[in-house]
Amino acid sequence: MKKILLALVLTLMSFPAFACGNGQSCALGERSYQAKTPDNWDGRTPLPVLLHFHGWGRTGTNVIRNKRISGATDQNGVLLLAPDGLGKSWSFWSERPRDINFAKAVLADAAKRWSIDQSRVYISGFSYGSAMAWAVACDSGDQYAGFLGIAGTLSRINGRQCKTGPFTLRQVHGKQDTVMRPPWGSNLQTWQKALSLSGCKDKTVTKNGRYTSESWKSCADKKTVRLDIHKGGHFIPKGWINTQLRDLLAR
């Protein structure tokens, strides 16, 4: 009997600290987030992180199930974190940015559950979730390794000044997107704020496959800012997240 109890105790002690993720929600107070470890992770090596905000009307589960997102994190050995927005949306306009603080809490909680490479934490989002990622960049951009915006930006700062910089930013947007307009016109003011924070200059325009890319490489602290425009509408382009993660992780 003692041997059986000892074996049971040792088995319980061998359970990983992460008792959620990969299909099971991670509870965080009265809220939750989803998580997916890369398929071939050894359970010990510190993981880069992609924290991705879902679009309006979606949940973190939709993020985990989207192969254009989770497939990219799997291929690059990245831990995917997908917070669940209250009411399937995000709140970040006010002076008390509820969901910016929640994002920080998600990252802090995940660090207790998994071995995380704190120097390679990336923030991403799609549609309204992309605007949420922009809000995090505006609030605390210097605390993260980079930002991936997809089909959404901040059209206004709502009277707030971006607190920090510089930060690395990659944005992709469809020229025919009628849900959240591409970052030109009035939205360009937000881009100018981001660029001024990074000290970027020397804009170049190149044709890269399906994208017309506007890049700023002469940024402070070797940060980079790039806008990829395609001819389509409001969606996550196939392979875009994978390409960006592979490039950023190689730097």
Quick: pLDDT tens for 171-199.
999 999 999 887 654 455 566 666 666 67
**What percentage of the chain carries pLDDT values higher than 90?**
61
Residue with the two structure tokens 């071995």: 115
Residue 171 falls inside a structural domain: no
Residue 137 falls inside a structural domain: yes
Supply the Cα-derived Rg of the chain in whole angstroms.
19
Structural domain boundaries, residue 49: 23-163+178-199+236-249
From 239, 245, 128, 235, select the one nearest 173 (Cα to Cα). Answer: 235
Pairing between strand 203-208 and 211-216?
antiparallel
d(CA 173, CA 140): 23
pLDDT at res. 245: 97
pLDDT above 50 (res 8): no
Residue 224 falls inside a structural domain: no
Residue 38 falls inside a structural domain: yes
CA 130 from chain centre, in angstroms, equals 8
Residue 182 falls inside a structural domain: yes
**CATH code, domain carrying 46:** 3.40.50.1820
Residue 71 falls inside a structural domain: yes
- pLDDT band of 31, cuts 50, 70, 90: very high
Whether the Cβ atoms of residue 141 and residue 161 lie closer than 8 Å to each other: no
